[in-house]
Amino acid sequence: MNNNTLAFINTASNEDLRTLCDIITLDKDGSPRLTEELTGTVGYRMNYPGNMRALAPVMVDEFRRFGGNTFANIVRGEGPEYSEILRDVAKRQKVKIKSGDSDEVIERHLLEKMFDNISKTMTDEQLKEMMDQMGIHLKYYSREAAVAALQLAIREGGFACYKWLVVVANALAKFLTGRGLTIAANAALTKWLSVFAGPIGWAVTALWTVIDIAGPAYRVTIPAVIQIAYMRQKPRYAGLLTA
């Protein structure tokens, strides 16, 4: 694989890789993207959808081509590194980042920005439910304090941030592929996902309008970055969600 920062993708689950592949190669209506090259290969026909790890390296290469300027891709013989694509997505979403921030930190900033946007559609009851699920307790509740506390929890990472990432990635996967994430759900997680289905769904629809305006490449890179962030964090925390 050309990009070591994405080496963890080689060990991801088949279904998570299939979701990422579909985000990269298929339009929202399920037809292959006009500029993608992967679905026409022998390797794709032999391995999709049952052996996605075999496709992981070429899938990343395809994603990187979407993340770069066509002429620049020709000159360097490949697309930009994931770090460059991620920073471009963050800039497009008006996320404030520092030059020394790691990919993982920028992914968290992106999630925090998405929460900032989505929180505007959430009721006080939904905010309180989210605080309960994240283990955040305020002595005196106010909407402003709740949003600030949740922003901080997402920014700092850890299990609270991962739970929010699951909600966002699940909503995007459903919106784009018709399938949610494959999670061994328990009652608590099922409730967690259902509580935010409404506001997350509305926010994803609104986000997609912005992405459409931004251009075809962002229809791939923005949701793919969220799926990649989920796949990065899943080995650390998935067991806690299903315990």
Residues whose CB falls within 8 Å of the CB of residue 33, separated by 6 or more in sequence, listed in order: 25, 26, 27, 216, 220
CA 108 vs CA 122, 167, 200: distances in Å: 20, 14, 17
Token digits for 68? 């770069």
What is the model's pLDDT at position 180?
85
Mean pLDDT by 10 residues, the chain (243 residues): 74 96 94 93 97 96 81 56 93 91 96 89 86 88 96 92 88 88 67 73 74 79 95 87 59
CB–CB of 177/24 below 8 Å?
Answer: no
CA distance 89 to 106: 10
What is the model's pLDDT at position 204?
76
- How crowded is residue 71: how many other Cβ atoms within 10 Å of its Cβ? 8
What is the model's pLDDT at position 182?
77
Sequence length of the chain is 243
What is the model's pLDDT at position 75?
42
Q: Which amino acid belongs to residue 15?
A: E
Q: What is the pTM of this model?
A: 0.90
Residue burial 112-147, b: 16+ Cβ < 10 Å; e: rest = bbbbeebbeebeeebbbbbbebbebeeeeeeeeebb
What is the model's pLDDT at position 49?
97
What is the model's pLDDT at position 241?
67
What is the model's pLDDT at position 197?
73
Closest by CA position to 64, among listed 228, 221, 223? 221
What is the model's pLDDT at position 242?
59
